Structure 1
Amino acid sequence: MTSIRLPNLLPRIFLLLAAVLLSGCTTMPATHVRPTVISPVAARTGVIAGFAAGIQETLDQGESAVHLIPDNLDALHWRIAMMQGAEQTLDLQYFLWEDDYSGYLLLHELLKAADRGVQVRLLLDDIFLDFSHRTVAAIQQHPNIEVRVYNPVVNRRSVTGTAFRFALNVIQLNRRMHNKLMIADGSLALVGSRNIGDSYFGFDPDYNFRDLDAVTVGPVLQDMMYSFDHYWNTRYAIDATDLYLTSRSRHLGAVRRVAMTRSGQHPDRAAAALPQTPRAWLTERARGFHPGQVTYIYDHPSDRHDRTVLQELPEFLSPIEQQLRIVTPYFLPNDFGMDLIQDKLARNVQVQVIVPSLGSINHTIVHSHYRSFRPRILEMGVDLYEYQHQPGYAGRHHADSGSVEADFISMHMKTLLGDSNRAYIGSLNLNHRSLYTDTENGLLILSDSLGQELELLLADMATPEESWQLALENGRVLWMTDEATLQNPPTRSPLQHIPYFWGALLPIRGFL
């Protein structure tokens, strides 16, 4: 039987609405004076550095190389390999880190890397940080680990305290760090749309995501390291020592024991373990890298008006002449998205959009606001597809891991592909939050070979085995596959109709 989760966006939205009614001002937590930290020069020796150097030897001057990661288990293994192979530094920047099996497994690997002498910097957004503040403060006790929390809600001991803090400074606290980035030894970086949690790596029995990351090597790493330093040194990144009362923190040893226990308590998830040494595992994947011109883009960490991703993405996509494919889990295009689509259609560019169906989306309330865009998008001539919650073998193969078979498959991928050679892979959704409020990041990739691989991946997602194709007939939306045509949106449970219909009545689109 399919289990139903209350959409975890709702508490956040209601807190923000309460804050609007109680506007005021406050200041960031007081911090100790700290020096500006700059990433060290990339390592020249070691497993990661040697692997990256071998790939760079095959590239032309100025080129970087990118490897796509559409498979959830593979995405977990890449992170483990980078943690186990690192010898000098690990920098991690994430919007969400869950305290589940995968979250503790990767925390365990981070602690082991720090024990080897690797200098670890962990930058986490506060709003969906599942670890307790006591646990975060305990991690900070390790001499080789520094933890900073972006734009924190200082009083999070209760929902009331959180709402009160939001009420004091809704404009500041509404802005979240949605970036996802991991850099090992300054030589190998991973970016994309996956956060840290079981749903992103295929181990959640409720639902797993169809998702996409990319690993890159080459000169683009310089901008990625600069970006991490930029966020790390902003006044919005608060040191865990300043933020949490260390006298009330757990002991590091207790966190170690929990991480070891939680990461080893599921024998049926043995597939999570890296099957080889990091060197051997990485070597087998060297051929999957595509050369090209790669640019890293990110929004300013403290200036809300500096929307670099929003500015550079349309320019990068402007030369497109034939086709634009858009894949996004939360599709509320507003002016930016509609203008982008209309511009391409006016130039006779075919536009295809893939979003989750009502049955596959993990935040039903977002879908309730998307439905008003659906007829307009179809009338414009867009090829619109909605991903099925029970896709065929290919979708299941990429999403589920090991012996886990989730009740349904959701879709979390965020990518754009133009003319099979211009790709964006990153954290950006086509919704109001991503476009105008939160910080985002990603790669702009100009590569024929990578574009061809991504083209095949997205074409498979648009087949009847994985997605519904939508059409407009006499003003009514139809959902079609080879086997069925529906006149109502496909759901995974009748209970979804409740937030689907009343959610659209709430004036919260600006918070979605």
Structure 2
Amino acid sequence: MRTASLLLRCGDRCSTALARVAVVLSVLLLAACATLSPQQADRAYAIAGAARSDASTCDTSDACAQPSPLHQLADRALLDSTPQQPRHYTVILDRGTDALLARINLIRSAARSIDLQTYIYEDDDSGRLVLDELLAAARRGVRVRLLMDQLSAIQSVESLAALSGAHRNFHIKLYNPVLGRARVTYPQYAIAAACCWRQLNQRMHTKLLLIDDALAITGGRNYQDDYFDWDAQYNFRDRDLLVAGPVTGAMAEDFRRFWEDRRAVPPSRLVDVGRLLLARGVPPLAPSEFRLPERAEAMREDAADALLVFERLASRAREVGKVEYVSDGPGKHEADTPAEFALASQSLGELIASADREVLLQTPYLVLSRPAQALFERLHDRPDAPRVVVSTNSLAATDAFIAYALSYKYKRRYLRDFGFNIYEYKPFPEDAPIDLATTGAFLPEFVDAPLPPPPSTRPDRSSVLRSARYRRPLATEYGATRHLRRQSNEPVPLRRAGVRMGMHAKSLVIDRRIGVVGTHNFDPRGDNYNTESAVVVHDAAFARELAASIHRDISPANSWVIAPRDKPPVLWGLEYSIGKLSEWLPVFDLWPMRYATSYEFMPGPECPRPIPPDHPGFRACHRPVGDFPEVNLALKGLPTRLFTAFGAGLAPIL
């Protein structure tokens, strides 16, 4: 009766409110689904084409290409190669500043063509610098093609319209635009998730920079400051591979397939950019404004210094033989069963299955697909099972809190059923390949420290805001977190301030004989939704070099090791059985006791070097530091446990 009375009293007011909500939703839906007619799209495309300048800054046959010691690697590799014995040169790019330096230098060295394919392209300092170099290359006569995944492309519709009409040698496309738009708002996101879930999740995660079809850079890095050590709060520990030689022919063909695919659409044919062009014509391209212009200028000067480029990069080139490029290609998004066309996943799975002694795996998000779990379980069940070492993120280091929560849920399975040795990256690693001076960190007026830090011209880890805003939510790397509120897309709050690092490298070493650098996170998204790619190098010396890089990441200075907790004195078997049963439940996992926790190495006379967690003396040399070391548990401990309890259903889209 009370409820009925309230409804009667509400009367017309409730009806009016519901009607207003319905109107708002209808308007949003109509706005989101609005399209350009074919005639309008053609006219907008023509407007952009007619505005393109054909002015040239160079009249030589090589487009005034800058001599480069990196480009010379391609000349040597192609000269020394035969169909029976291909020769390649590789350079592992661990440092973010080196990765950016290599890109700028190679773009300037291009004489014929530049193809750039990426998942994220942010309009920040590094993105603007690379874009300036691409436009300069186009103006001197180089054909430039820029292909970006639509959900993470350049943010500004006006910038996309300006780039559409910038120069006759500069071409730009967006891959798989949702709702026919270049940019989508969060309400439009929600509509796309409701109407077009599969398309929304089919993303181009492939990353490639190809110069003159002769040498390339591929790997984990997107185009955003935090991939190049240029962010003042959070930077990725990432890895690219520069490769020169015949394999770039396969890369060129793969890029062509993406570029010519129906999902690759010029921005001028999309609703928001097209309408701007129809209404105002091509807007002028705004000059780049850098947050730290002196840093950008220093990078320009370094890229012009051939001796410096040789010393920092080309001198480290390694001559190798057989190299393969494995890519899913856009055909993966045509398939009714994408896993059958997931060539990258299949190739990596075959490599892992071929291991005799060791699998060294590095991934930022330890969320395994069911086929991957079955593969590792079979591997572990072999009488001669190889050791599996995994380098991944801790909760304190990750940029994808939900992904870590699911990884946390399955630690028992990873350790016992798959035999993993898991090392989780620290947010403030002591021996990481990062140049703190380039981050642009500054000393705020308030720092969470008992005493002011000593004066220094070099920023340190106490010189950034503890609660600063991290990058915009739609630029996050991990797919599923795009659909959540902004706070879910940020690194978790820590107990202390600092320039934080998070693992983003995706690499694999098999038996120190095969090394892989690619884009695949070894997760369900890579198997089922994203297009992925990888460079597979069949060379023992290269594999050892890559293994050494990963082992640096898992050293005690840079990572915690995950191992089982000490057994309680009573009822251990019962506690373990209940925890295992709770873990296997499809939705609820409420058992509070976790099987494993984090450990820190404690060096001493009896412990001169770290030992693996399955060694009998492990506990004598390590001390437990809790499930979430460095994390402000008051803010993130409970949500992490809630996601382990209720988040299992997110695994397929993660």
TM-score range normalised by the length of the shorter chain = 0.7 to 0.9
Instruction: Indicate if the aligned counterparts of 1:203 and 1:400 stay in contact, CA closer than 8 A.
Output: no
Contact 1:330 1:367 survives alignment (8 Å):
yes
Alignment partner of 1:423 is 2:452: no
Q: 1:355-396: CA deviations, max 9, x gaps?
A: 10010001111111111121111113221110111111x215
1:91-130 to structure 2, matched below 5 A, reads 91-130=115-154
Deviation per CA, 1:117-136: give whole Å up to 9, x if none: 21110000011224222211
* TM-score in terms of structure 2 length: 0.68
- Correspondence for 1:379: 416
1:53 corresponds, among 53, 75, 89, to: 75
Q: How does 1:11-410 map to 2 (within 5 A)?
A: 47=67, 50-57=72-79, 61-142=85-166, 143-153=168-178, 154-155=180-181, 156=183, 158-243=185-270, 244-245=273-274, 246-247=277-278, 253-255=284-286, 257=287, 259=288, 261-262=289-290, 265-267=292-294, 271-277=298-304, 279-284=306-311, 285-290=313-318, 291-301=320-330, 302-304=333-335, 305=338, 306-345=341-380, 346=382, 347-380=384-417, 381-392=419-430, 394-395=431-432, 397=434, 401=438, 404=441, 407-410=499-502
With over 3 angstroms needed to count, the CA separation of the structure-2 counterparts of 1:400 and 1:354, relative to structure 1, is farther
Q: Is structure 2 residue 625 aligned with structure 1 residue 486?
A: yes
Contact 1:92 / 1:121 at 8 angstroms: preserved in 2?
A: yes
Instruction: Provide closer, same or farther for how the CA distance between residues 218 and 157 of structure 1 changes in structure 2, counting only shifts above 3 A.
Output: closer
Do the aligned partners of residues 223 and 253 (structure 1) sit closer, same or farther apart at CA in structure 2, a change above 3 Å counting?
A: same
Deviations 1:307-357 (A, max 9, x none): 111122222344321110010001111223223322333232011011100
Structure 1's consecutive aligned runs of 4 or more residues displaced over 6 angstroms after TM superposition are 26-29
The CA deviation at 1:251 is 5.0
* Deviation digits for residues 132-172 of structure 1 (CA, Å, limit 9, x no counterpart): 22211211212211111000122445322332234322112
Task: Evaluate the alpha carbon distance shift between residue 174 and residue 276 of structure 1 in structure 2; reply closer, same or farther with a 3 A threshold.
Answer: closer
Structure 1 distance, partners of 2:305, 2:370, is 45
Does the residue aligned with 2:520 lie in a helix, a strand or coil? Answer: coil
Q: 2:562–2:597: 8 Å Cα contact kept in structure 1?
A: yes
Q: In 2 relative to 1, CA 276–493 (structure 1 residues): closer, same or farther, beyond 3 Å?
A: same
Q: 1:19-57 deviations in whole A, cap 9, x for unaligned?
A: xxx9xxx999857699xxxxxxxx899546544113444
CA distance in 2: counterparts of 1:249 and 1:282, whole angstroms = 44
CA distance in 2, matches of 1:356, 1:335: 21
Equivalent-residue separation in structure 2 for 1:235 and 1:498 (angstroms): 45
Where relative contact order (Cα < 8 A, 6+ residues apart) is larger, the structure is 1
Counterpart residue number, 2:551 = 459
Instruction: Indicate if the aligned counterparts of 2:235 and 2:500 stay in contact, CA closer than 8 A.
Output: yes
Q: Deviations over 1:211-266 (max 9, x none)?
A: 100011111011000000000001111112212212357856433x1x2x22x744
What amino acid maps onto 2:540 in structure 1? D
- Aligned pairs (5 A) from 1:426-445: 426-445=518-537
Q: Which residue of 1 aligns with 2:652?
A: 510
Identical residues among aligned pairs (%): 26
RMSD of aligned C-alpha atoms?
2.9
Secondary structure of 1:391's match? coil
In 2: Cα distance, 1:375 partner to 1:250 partner: 59
Gaps of 5+ in 1: 1-17, 35-42
- Secondary structure of the corresponding residue to residue 96 of structure 1: coil
- Please state which structure has a larger fraction of its residues in strand: 1
SS at 2:123's partner residue? coil
Residue aligning to 2:616 = none
Q: 1:136 is matched by which residue type in structure 2? A: L
CA positional deviation for 1:102: 1.1
- Native 8 Å contact 1:51 1:282 kept in 2: no
CA contact (8 A) 2:214 2:246 kept: no
CA distance in 1, matches of 2:34, 2:324: 35
CA distance in 2, matches of 1:339, 1:44: 52
- Matched residue type, 1:449: A
Larger Rg: 2
Q: Say if 1:318 and 1:271 are closer, same or farther in 2 by CA, change over 3 A.
A: farther
Secondary structure at the counterpart of residue 97 of structure 1: coil
CA distance in 1, matches of 2:317, 2:294: 33
| Partners of 1:137 and 1:292 in 2: CA distance | 44
Contact 1:399 1:409 survives alignment (8 Å): no
Q: Judging changes above 3 Å, is the alpha-carbon distance between structure 1 residues 289 and 489 closer, same or farther for their aligned structure 2 residues?
A: same
Distance in 1, Cα, partners of 2:349 & 2:34: 35
Aligned equivalents of 1:121, 1:28: Cα separation in 2: 26
Aligned 8 A contact 2:295 2:438 in 1: no
Between 109-118 and 203-212, report the one with greater CA deviation: 109-118
Please state whether the residue corresponding to 2:221 is helix, strand or coil: coil
What letter corresponds to residue 267 of structure 2 in structure 1? A
Q: Which amino acid in the other structure matches residue 162 of structure 2?
A: A
> For the structure 1 residues 464 and 207, does the alpha-carbon distance in structure 2 shift closer, same or farther, using more than 3 Å as the test?
same
- TM-score (normalizing by structure 1): 0.86
- Tell me the matched-pair count: 477
**Alpha-carbon distance in 2 for matches of 1:386, 1:418:** 20
Distance 1:132 1:470, change over 3 A: same
Give, in whole Å, the separation in 2 of the partners of 1:307 and 1:493: 39
State the distance in 2 between where 1:101 and 1:45 align. Answer: 26
Q: Which region of structure 1 is more displaced relative to structure 2, 242-251 or 350-359?
A: 242-251
Deviating more after overlay: 480-489 vs 220-229: 480-489
